[in-house]
Amino acid sequence: MHQFGRLCGAALLAGALGFGAAPAEAQAPGVTKDEITIGALGALTGATSFMGGPGRDGLQLGIEQINAAGGINGRKIKLVYEHAFTPAESVAAAKKLVESDKVFALILSSGSTGAAAAANYVRETGVPTYNLFGATPIIRTPFAKNVFHGAMPDAPTSAQALVDRVYQAKPDAKKIGLLVGTYSFPQSNKAAILPILEARGVKPVIEEFDQDSRDFTSQLISMARQRVDAVIVLGSFSEAGFAYKQAPEKGLANAVWVLDGSAVNDAIVPIIGERDPKNVWGYSNMPAFPAQDHPEAVKFRQAWIAKYGTPPQGRPNSYDMVGYGGAFILAKAIEAAGENLTWDGLIGAWSTMKGAKPSDLGGADVIFPETFSETDHQGNRALGRATIKGGLWQTVGQ
C-alpha cells in the first residue's frame, strides 16, 4: 500500500510534468499574483454537520481576519468549501478541489472516515493538506509528507491524557470503566487506551453503546455492579451527558468521570442539568473553551458574534475555534514558504515550522502553538486539564 502510494504519486507527478504543467519552479496551482485559493471539505448536512458547518465558519472568520490584515505576502486567501460526508463524497470533493478548482492547499474539516478517504487520495496527489478534526489512525498512517495534523492530537496522545485525568482526580483508582461508542472514533480511541491501561495493570470494565444512544441503563448497572471508581466515556457530549445524568439512578454515584474530546463541549451542561457537576474531567486540545472567560477566547467570541450574529445554543463550539486557529496555522506556513509558492516549498516550510500560533498573524490564540518536523506532522500534543465550572468547561492547567 505504502509503496503503491509512492508509485502512484510518482506516476502522477510524471503525468503532470508530461502534460506540460508548470515545473516546480513556476507558480503552483491556485496561486495568482494577488490571490491564493485554499480548498476545504466537511459535512454541511447529515450527522456530522455540527463539525463541518462550524469548521467552515471558523475558517472563514480566520481567513477574513488574515485578509483584513493585508493577507500573506500581499496575496489574499480565498476559501472554497465543499460539502462532503461519506468517504465517496469526500474523495469527490477533494478531487474537485484539487483537479478542477486547482486549490493550492487542502483542509480536511470532516469526521474520521470521510477525512481518511480524502487523505488516502491526497497522499497520491501530493497536495499540502491540513487535517483539522480527523482523529482516526488511518489518516496518520502511513505517514505522508504532505499531510499535516493540527489541534486534534493522535489517538495515543489523547488516550494517555484520558488515563492521566483519571489518576489526577483519583490517584487510588482501581477499577476503571470504559463506556465506548460503537462507531468510528470511539473505537479508535479505545484501541489506543487499552494498551495504556494494560501497562498499568488495570483491566477495564468495557461497555459499549450505539451512536446517539440515550439510554445507558444496562451499561451503568453493569458498572455499578462491578463498583468502578472511574468511568472513561469515549463518545460524544450528548452520549456522555445522558450517561452521567443517569448514573446516580442506576446506582453509580461517586465515580470519577473522564470524557473524551468531543464530549468536552458546553452543550453537555444542560443535559447534565447541573452547573457544577462533581467529578467530571476531560482534556482540551485548546488553551481555553469557546465560552470560557479567557482573554483569547473572549476576543475570538466577539469576532465570531460580530460576523455571524447571536449564536444558537452550543455555538461557537470547539470546531469553530479549531477551524479559526487552523486558518492561521496554514497561513503561517504559506507565509514561511515565501513569495514564490510551490507545493514543495510549502511542505518544506511547514515541516520546519515551530511554535506557530494565530497571534503571529494578529489572530486570537485559541489553539495551542503548533510545531512540526520532517518526520512528525502532528502539530499539537499539548492537552489541557478541563472540568465544568459555573455551567462551562474551563481549562485548569495541564
Partner 1 sequence: MAEFVMVILGGLKFGAVYALAAIGIVVIHKATRTVNFAHGGLVMLGAFATYVLVVDWKWPYWTAYLVVPLLIGALAAGLELSILRPLRRADLFTVVLGTIFLGTALSEAFRLAYNTELLAVPAAISGAPIFIDIGEDAAIVTLEQIWVTGGALAVGLAGLFLFRYSTLGRSMRAMASNIRGAQLCGYSVERVYATAWFTGGALAGLAGVFAAPSRGVSPELAVSIIASAFVAAVIGGFDSLAGALIGGLLLGVVETLSAAYVSSAAKSAISFVLLFLVLLWRPEGLFPEAKRRHV
Partner 2 sequence: MSDARRPLAILSPLLAPLALFLWGWAAGDYWRFVLTLVATSTVIGAALTMLVGFARCISLATGAMMGIGAYCSTLLILHAGLPFPVAVVASALAGGVGGLLLAIPAVRFKSHNLAMVTLVFQAVVIILVREMKSVTGGAEGLNVAPPVIFGQTISSDLVYLGMAACFCALALLPISVLLSGPYGRNLRALATNEVAARAFGIRIERYLMAAFTVSSAAIAMAGALAAPRFRIIDPDSFGLHTSIVMLAYPVIGGMTSIWGGILGGGLMRLLPELLRPIADYIELILAAIVILTVMFFRGGLTEIGERLCPRRTAPLAAAPDAPAERATTLPAPRPPSHAHAGDALVATNIVKRYGALAAVDDVTLAIRAGTLHGIMGPNGAGKTTFFNAVTGFIAPDAGRVVLFGQEAKPGRVEDRIALGITRTFQHVAIFPGLTCRDNVIAGLGRNGVRQSFRRSLDRALWSAAARDEHEAASWALAAVGLRSLAETRADQLSLGNQRRLEIARAIVSRPRLILLDEPVSGVSHGEVEQIVTLLRRLNVELGATMLIVEHNIGFLTALCDRISVMASGRIIADGLPAEVVARKEVRQVYFGEIEDAA
Query: Which stretches of the chain bind partner 1, using CB under 8 A?
Result: 45, 47, 49-50, 53, 182, 207-212, 214-215, 217-219, 221-222, 225, 236-238, 241-242, 246, 248-251, 265, 267-271, 273, 312-315, 317
Q: Which residues 6+ apart lie within 8 Å of 123 measured at CB?
A: 5, 9, 142, 144, 146, 147
State how far the alpha carbon of 324 is from the alpha carbons of 77, 90, 166, 180, 348, in Å.
14, 21, 30, 29, 23
Q: Toward partner 2, which CB reaches closer, 50 or 121?
A: 121
**Coil, helix or strand for 31?**
strand
For the CB of residue 321, give the shortest distance to partner 1 in the complex, in Å. 15
When CB distances are held under 5 to 8 angstroms depending on the partner's kind, the choice from partner 1, partner 2, none that residue 279 binds is none
Residue among 42, 40, 38 nearest 77 (CA): 38
When CB distances are held under 5 to 8 angstroms depending on the partner's kind, the choice from partner 2, partner 1, none that residue 267 binds is partner 1
Q: Kindly state whether residue 183 participates in binding partner 2, applying the rule CB under 8 A.
A: yes
Q: Kindly state whether residue 21 participates in binding partner 2, applying the rule CB under 8 A.
A: no
Burial class (CB in 10 A: 0-12, 13-18, 19+), 308: middle
Name the maximum alpha-carbon separation found in the chain: 70
Pick one of 27, 73, 182, 398: the residue that binds partner 2 (CB under 8 A): 182
For the CB of residue 155, give the shortest distance to partner 2 in the complex, in Å. 11
Q: Toward partner 1, which CB reaches closer, 76 or 245?
A: 245
Q: Which of residues 116-145 bind partner 2 (CB under 8 A)?
A: 116-117, 120-121, 124, 136, 138
Whether 150 and 184 have beta carbons less than 8 Å apart is answered as no
**134-155 as b/e, with b when 16 or more CB fall inside 10 Å?**
bbbbbbbeeebbbbbbbbbbbb
Q: Kindly state whether residue 158 participates in binding partner 2, applying the rule CB under 8 A.
A: no
Candidates 62-70, 114-122, 157-165, 287-295; binding stretch for partner 2 (CB under 8 A): 114-122
Distance CA 68, CA 124 (A): 34
Whether 348 and 335 have beta carbons less than 8 Å apart is answered as no
Candidates 179-187, 234-242, 306-314, 361-369; binding stretch for partner 2 (CB under 8 A): 179-187
Pick one of 10, 22, 88, 305: the residue that binds partner 2 (CB under 8 A): 88
CA dihedral 90, 95, 98, 103 (to 10 degrees): -50
Pick one of 86, 246, 351, 359: the residue that binds partner 2 (CB under 8 A): 86
Pick one of 65, 75, 89, 337: the residue that binds partner 2 (CB under 8 A): 89
When CB distances are held under 5 to 8 angstroms depending on the partner's kind, the choice from partner 1, partner 2, none that residue 99 binds is partner 2
When CB distances are held under 5 to 8 angstroms depending on the partner's kind, the choice from partner 2, partner 1, none that residue 138 binds is partner 2
Strands of the chain, DSSP E? 35-42, 76-83, 105-108, 129-131, 147-149, 176-181, 205-209, 230-234, 256-259, 280-284, 384-389, 392-395
Q: Kindly state whether residue 212 participates in binding partner 2, applying the rule CB under 8 A.
A: no
> Site residues (CB under 8 A) for partner 2?
1, 4, 8, 11-12, 44-47, 53, 82-83, 86-89, 91-92, 95-96, 99-100, 112-113, 116-117, 120-121, 124, 136, 138, 182-184, 187-188
